[in-house]
Structure 1
Amino acid sequence: MTAADDELFESHRRRLTGLAYRILGSLAEAEDAVQDSFVKWTEADRDVIDNPAAWLTTACTRRCLDLLRAARRTRVDYVGTWLPEPVQTVVDGTPESSLELSASLSTAFLLLLERLSPRERAAYLLHEIFEQPYPEVAAILGVQEAACRKLVSRARAAVGRPAARYTAPLDRQDTLLAAFRGALTSGRTERLAALLSDEIALSADGGGRATAIAQTLRGKAAVLDFMGSLHGYWANYEWRPADINGGRGVLLVAADGTLAAAVTFGFDANGRVDGIYVMRNPDKLARLQAGGTTLS
């Protein structure tokens, strides 16, 4: 492999990682899939590759599908609630494309994709988010175009344009963070309550490695009672706002420097918070602890 071949792959690495993460919901697995694609790239015959970008996307997507099928079997035995691994994010491009890509990285949207079969998930992401035409998506998945259209149609029916795809303006997200912090540090939840949807749900992922609520809390009363009870428990953590999964989030750091939690939010069509996602699993916090990996 020449230096030019290596540079070509590196020019696609960030995009491939973003695609792989959306398919898998795990940055660790996404990076494994991209690295496996790199190995395959080093062994490929360049003379028969007319379109390197399409070849790399195909190799990465197919590897992701293998990993996703294996991961879903493993998640059957997962302790407590499973949430996607949180990642620090930055999105390039126009404001319109940035908003769309940011929404497609949200924890709420990634959880919604869990409803889909692996091939539906890949087809939907490639066509609806990465704007690949049907013939190219069909070739990537190794199916006929008609079958590809059915995969996307079924996925669109399940995902559509639900609340999970909405992103509140950044100033409203900042207002939310301030109210959330106030509830944690003072135990007073009135300001936070005004920003929550009546259908609010709070989920936490400890993975059996850290203390976390075992099941999702649903409804404003249950969530606010829980938030109020955290006063005095999280009040002494260092508060670090961060851009996580395409939106404003927060990292809570203990006095010894250990990252104790990462919190992200989901919004409904009216800009109210309908999802609070608390990551406590240290395995999934490891990259954020080390400074994070930026996705687009």
Structure 2
Amino acid sequence: MKSADLLVFETLRPRLFLIAYRMLGMRADAEDIVQDAWLRFSASRHDEVRSAEAWLVTITTRLSIDRLRSLKNEREAYSGWWIPEPVVEMVEDTPEAAAELASEVSVAMLWVLERLTPEERAAFLMRKVFDCDYDELSAMLGKSEAACRQLVHRAQERIRQERPRFTVSKNMHRAVLDNFMKAAASADRDAMKSLLSADVEYRADGGGKVPSLDKLLVGTGRVAGLYWAVEHAFPERVVYKMARVNGEPGLIRYIDGKVESVQSFCVDDGEISRIYVVRNPDKLQSIPSLQ
């Protein structure tokens, strides 16, 4: 192994991690894929590698496809809803921190990507997120350009069906969420209901590790009632904090100072239309307790 090889790999590591994470939705799995890519890169004959970047991106994508296929049965047997592991950044009240990150890998988007086949997911991400040309995609997936175009088309159609009808600005998203946070913290059921769409959907991932709803919760009354019930079950023990969750405004809920859940929200035409709540403690280990 040459130090130059390691430098190339370390330079590309962030991009490789993003590819693997967007494919798999779990940080540990993504890190394993990147490490495997490095081992294969370091053992390869570099005189046969025209572009280290293309080689590493291709092997990372292929390894991710294989890993996603092997995870299929595991996720189908998962207890309750499987929601991707969130990437969380705390939001501080400073102009610098107020600059939102790109929402290309929002929890809602990763949720939709779970509905695709591994190859559709790879084709869509590499084409639409990483801007690969179809000839690059063809070499990467070992398929014809026509087949790659069809994969991207099918993925786009599925994503279009699942996405909110209207897009909102980050400022509106955050304003709606801030109002909802205040309403939830004060157990104001009517205020919460006014911020939820009539057919709002609520999903929670407990992974069988903590109590959680296994069924889809739908409707303003039921969802607002659930937040109301949490406040009344733990009076003066619940704290909400705004955070960036996969680049979008989200919430962390603490009970007795410990992280209870990370919550992601879809805002559609000024109303909250979908809520994704991660309660599985295995997916919350990187988030510190409340100081």
TM over 0.5: yes
Work out the number of aligned pairs and report it.
281
**What is the CA deviation profile of residues 108-159 of structure 1, one whole-angstrom value per residue up to 9, with x for unaligned ones?**
1111112211101100110011110111011111111111111111111211
Cα distance in 2 for residues equivalent to 1:4 and 1:290: 40
Flag the structure with more relative contact order, 1 or 2, with Cα contacts below 8 A and sequence separation at least 6: 1
Partner Cα separation in structure 1 for residue 17 and residue 46 of structure 2: 22
CA contact (8 A) 1:167 1:271 kept: no
Q: Deviations over 1:227-258 (max 9, x none)?
A: 22222335513433211111111222343x53
Q: 1:102 to 1:53 in 2, by over 3 A?
A: same
Measured in 2, the distance between the counterparts of 1:183 and 1:142 equals 52
Correspondence for 1:283: 282
- Measure the CA separation in 1 of the matches of 2:166 and 2:21: 19
Partners of 1:190 and 1:171 in 2: how far apart? 23
Superposition pairs for residues 60-75 of structure 1, below 5 Å?
60-75=60-75
Q: String of CA shifts for 1:21-55, please: whole Å, max 9, x gaps.
A: 11111111111111111111111111111111111
Are 2:202 and 2:274, in contact at CA under 8 Å, matched by a contact in 1? yes
The alpha carbon displacement at 1:166 in A equals 6.5
Q: 1:221 to 1:199 in 2, by over 3 A?
A: same
Write the distance in 2 (CA, Å) between the matches of 1:185 and 1:152: 42
The amino acid across from 1:202 in the alignment is Y
Structure 1 gap ranges (5+): 91-97, 292-296
Q: Give, as a single letter, the amino acid of the residue that structure 2 aligns with 1:279.
A: V
The one-character-per-residue Cα deviations of 1:241-293 (angstroms, maximum 9, x if unpaired) are: 211111111222343x532211111122x2421111111100011123499xx
- In the alignment, structure 1 residue 111 sits paired with structure 2 residue 122: no
Indicate the residue corresponding to 1:95 in structure 2.
none
CA distance in 2, matches of 1:148, 1:89: 35
Which residue of structure 2 lines up, in the alignment, with residue 93 of structure 1?
A: none
Q: Give 1:161 deviation, angstroms.
A: 7.4
Question: Is 2:231 aligned against 1:242?
Answer: no
In the TM superposition, 1:177-192 aligns within 5 A as 177-192=177-192
- Map 1:93-242 onto structure 2 (within 5 A): 102-160=102-160, 163-164=163-164, 168-233=168-233, 235-242=236-243
Shift of 1:180: 2.7
Distance 1:109 1:194 in 2: 25
d(CA) in 1 for partners of 2:261, 2:117: 30
**Is contact 1:244-1:264 (8 Å) kept?**
yes
CA contact (8 A) 1:24 1:64 kept: yes
Distance in 2, matches of 1:165 and 1:54, equals 36
- Name the % identity: 36
TM-score, with length taken from structure 2: 0.88
Distance in 1, Cα, partners of 2:104 & 2:279: 22
Question: What is the CA distance between 1:162 and its match in structure 2?
Answer: 5.1
* Contact 2:108–2:264 (CA under 8 A) maintained in structure 1: no
For 2:272, the equivalent position in structure 1 comes to: 273
Which secondary structure state, in structure 2, belongs to the residue aligned with residue 57 of structure 1? helix
Corresponding residue SS for 2:57: helix
Per the normalisation by structure 1, the TM-score is: 0.87
Q: Quote the offset at 1:167 in angstroms.
A: 5.6
Question: Is the CA contact (8 Å cut-off) linking 2:107 and 2:245 kept in structure 1?
Answer: no
What displacement does 1:195 show? 2.4
Q: Secondary structure at 2:286's aligned position in 1? A: helix
Residue 258 to residue 231, structure 1, CA distance change in 2 (3 Å): closer
Classify 1:55/1:165 alpha carbon distance in 2 versus 1 (closer, same or farther; 3 Å): farther
Matched residues in 2 for 1:154 and 1:181: separation?
37
What is the alpha-carbon distance in structure 2 between the residues aligned to residue 243 and residue 183 of structure 1? 19
Describe the shift of the 1:164–1:19 C-alpha distance in structure 2 as closer, same or farther (beyond 3 A): farther
Task: Note closer, same or farther for the CA distance 1:76–1:163 as it changes in structure 2 (3 Å cut).
Answer: closer
